[in-house]
Amino acid sequence: MYSYQSLPPPKTILSAAASLTASALLFKTIATTLLPTDLTNYLSSSFYTLFHRLSAHLTVVIPDSDGLTPNHLFQAANLYLGTKLSPSTHRIKINKPENEHDLIITVDRNQHITDTFQNIICKWVLKTEQLEFVNSNSNTVRSEQKFFELSFRNTHKETVIKHYLPHVLKTAEHIKAQLKAVKLHTVDYSGTDYWSSVVLNHPATFETIAMDNEMKAWILEDVKLFVKRKDYYRRVGKAWKRGYLFYGPPGTGKSSLVAAMANYLKFDVYDLDLREVQCNSDLRRLLIGTKNRSIIVIEDIDCNVGVQSREGENEGPDKDDKITLSGLLNFIDGLWSSCGDERIIVFTTNHKERLDAALLRPGRMDVHVEMSYCTYDGFKILASTYLQVTEDEKLELFQVVKEALKKVKVTPAEIAGELMKGEDAEIVLQNLNRWLQLKDES
């Protein structure tokens, strides 16, 4: 073993290093001058390959675009790494899109981010490169390209590419969905895709929907199961969609349940009023214009005379200039329904008995949900939401309401209207009981 005393003097070490550097430069000059270009490139490539084989780490470059096409992986990594910031991160970027609710945090350039996946240490850094090129007018054009460098041990190459990067993509999609503001789309023939949109600010949630608790829990579990079964739908050869029928008298919360589903899933809502659609071909164009992860709502399906029955579809000279039941069935269950993934179609009606049996079968309306008159469970939710009181706090008044609801058919909307008439819970509940008594006597 060498001791410190056995090492050469520092002056000798520096002299040797300078000599070695000079020799390397001399060799490079001789190779460039005397050796053929092909041989020089071959030697350089061989040395480069040997160096990287001996290197313990691999670096993956992820550019922001491939020419004019944005790189989806770059965008996903940018969003993903915004959730992996550490105290050592000194610079971040914050963006607030006009129609979104939350701030979007991403990393800035030259900021090193370390992430761990299956005990693999992955080091990220965002860099930029200045590019110059001469356009057709002989003008020099300068641009900037951004790219991520992802470094990890060479032995983990397969795991990083096959598992870690797909994990980044999937996590980024989830983050994007959580940040997304739900939009309500309505038919607009002046647009290129026949739709116009506004932000859906409906406050309904599964917690505030006034309906039977067991039914509500069942619907929520059905929705959860649907969104995680992409591979299942592919395996059984079915389009990844689900159809719901909400039926019952007006004021029972059909539209609010749609809004609660949209807010929970972060799905856009496409409100399709068939009375505004001119013909079957327009119906197909509207379907193509909808996006994945959306809820298509066809309200009051029983009010659309053309789709109630298949009888008389082929009669008359203008049969191609109207919506028919066959056209609607192709929209929800034919080949056109496969033009997209993760879609929910919701039909609402006040009169289920008016609908053609062809519409009601599974595959079109998979789940039938009866939106009934207000139950005691529904009333307790409304009282908690509107008056912020519970059964334990006003037990006697609640029990009077419970007995009245067994005899009187009133909708949640009617109960909510009564609860909004004051702020003193005691007085409001007393007035509600008097109102229910009058309804029972009439």
H or E segment to which residue 66 belongs:
strand 65-66
Per-residue pLDDT, 329:
77
Q: Is there a contact between 243 and 301 (Cβ–Cβ < 8 Å)?
A: no
State how far the Cα of 238 lies from the Cα of 333, in Å rounded to an integer. Answer: 10
Across the chain, mean pLDDT equals 81
Ranges 24-28, 74-78, 90-94, 188-192: which has the least confidence: 24-28
* Residue range 57-81: mean pLDDT, rounded: 87
Span of 29-43, 199-213, 360-374 with lowest mean pLDDT = 29-43
Give the separation between CA 185 and CA 174, rounded to whole angstroms.
Answer: 22
Rounded CA separation 344/400 (Å): 40
Contact (Cβ atoms closer than 8 angstroms) between residue 300 and residue 210: no
Distance in angstroms (rounded) separating the CA atoms of residues 377 and 217: 13
330: which 2 tokens?
């192709």
Whether pLDDT at 191 is above 80:
no
Q: What is the C-alpha separation between 397 and 428, in angstroms, rounded?
A: 10
Residues 372 and 247: their CA atoms lie apart, in Å, by 8
Most confident of 97-106, 166-175, 335-344: 166-175
Q: What is the pLDDT of residue 39?
A: 55
**Confidence check: pLDDT of 220 > 50:** yes
When pLDDT is cut at 50, 70 and 90, the band that residue 2 belongs to is: very low
Instruction: Give the pLDDT confidence score for residue 55 in this predicted structure.
Output: 60
pLDDT digit string (tens) for 269-301? Answer: 999 888 888 788 888 888 888 888 899 999 888
Residue 226 has pLDDT above 50, yes or no: yes
Q: Is the pLDDT higher at 14 or at 200?
A: 200
Q: List beta partners, residue 59.
A: 151
Best CA proximity match to 415, nearest among 396, 387, 395 = 387
Rounded to an integer, the average pLDDT of 25-44 is 56
CA distance 230 to 342: 8
Give the confidence band of 244 by pLDDT, cuts at 50, 70, 90. very high
What is the C-alpha to C-alpha distance for residues 354 and 441, in angstroms, rounded to an integer? 32
pLDDT of residue 44: 55
The whole-angstrom separation of Cα 305 and Cα 274 is 10
Domains of the chain (ranges, CATH numbers):
57-179 (no CATH), 183-370 (3.40.50.300), 376-441 (no CATH)
CB 383 within 8 A of CB 419: yes
| pLDDT value of residue 238 | 86
Helix (H, G, I), strand (E, B) or coil at 3: coil
Is residue 383 within 8 A of residue 399, CB to CB? The reply is no
290: alpha, beta or left, given left = phi > 0 and alpha = psi -120 to 50?
beta
The pLDDT score that the predictor gives to residue 212 is 86
Mention every residue, 6+ apart, whose C-beta is less than 8 A from residue 29.
none
Q: Grade residue 348 by pLDDT with cuts at 50, 70 and 90.
A: very high
- Give Cα 255 distance to the centre of its chain: 21
> What is the rounded CA–CA span in Å between residue 158 and residue 60?
12
pLDDT in tens, 400-413: 999 999 999 999 99
Query: Quick one: which of 208, 213, 186, 211 has its CA closest to 198?
Result: 186
* Rounded Cα–Cα distance for residues 61 and 48 (Å): 17
Q: Find the mean pLDDT for residues 32-53.
A: 55
CA distances from 308 to 3, 43, 107 (A): 97, 78, 55
What integer is the mean pLDDT of 328-356? 79
Q: Order of strands, edge to edge, in the sheet holding 343-349?
A: 195-199, 183-187, 268-271, 294-298, 343-349, 241-247, 367-370
pLDDT of residue 354: 85
Mean pLDDT computed over 355-369: 85
pLDDT band of 99, cuts 50, 70, 90: low
Alpha-carbon span 317 to 299, nearest angstrom: 28
